[in-house]
């Protein structure tokens, strides 16, 4: 079994804790489903949020989904002029037999514009 990395992102419509939980939960669920993963396949998840998001930790959404024994960390994205606002990104490290080329990276909604080369 190999260690792989899965990327993803979602743009929030507003900075509210409930909305963040809903959107980040949808992102994590899509990553798991599209890559045929369970929580047991997760090694760790790195979350970043743009500096305009203050309502909650994105990792809280993972805990609410039942991802409770996986190391999670949150960090702030660089504050780059002109960058897309209200974005939560993930970098999940997983165990998978899938070749790297078959990993499905998930960019939901407007966040798909961030990585047109790998968004699916």
pLDDT, tens digit, for every residue of 50-75? Answer: 999 999 999 999 999 999 999 999 99
Residue 10: Cβ within 10 Å count: 27
29 located within any domain: yes
Residues β-bridged to residue 45: 72, 92
Q: Which of 19-23, 79-83, 116-120 has the lowest mean pLDDT?
A: 116-120
14 located within any domain: yes
7 located within any domain: yes
pTM score: 0.94
| Domain interval for residue 20 | 2-115
Q: What Rg, from alpha-carbon coordinates, does the chain have?
A: 14
- Strand ranges, E, within the chain: 2-11, 42-49, 72-76, 87-96, 106-108
120 located within any domain: no
In the chain, how many domains are there? 1
Q: What is the DSSP letter of 82?
A: T
What was the pLDDT predicted at 119? Answer: 54
What was the pLDDT predicted at 117? Answer: 73
pLDDT tens digits, 84-110: 999 999 999 999 999 999 999 999 999
Please state, rounded to an integer, the average pLDDT across all residues of the chain: 95
Domain of residue 47, CATH code: 3.30.1330.40
94 located within any domain: yes
Q: What is the DSSP letter of 77?
A: P
């Amino acid at each position: 079994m190999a260690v792989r990395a899965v990327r993803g992102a979602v743009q929030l419509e507003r900075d509210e804790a409930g909305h963040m939980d809903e959107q980040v939960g949808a992102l994590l669920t899509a990553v798991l489903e599209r890559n045929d993963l369970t929580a047991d396949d997760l090694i760790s998840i790195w979350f970043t949020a743009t500096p305009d998001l203050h309502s909650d930790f994105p990792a809280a959404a993972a805990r609410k989904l039942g991802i409770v024994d996986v190391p999670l960390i949150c960090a702030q994205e660089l504050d780059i002029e002109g960058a897309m606002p209200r974005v939560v990104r993930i970098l999940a490290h997983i165990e998978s037999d899938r070749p790297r080329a078959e990993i499905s990276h998930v960019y939901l909604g407007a966040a798909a514009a961030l990585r047109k080369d790998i968004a699916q």
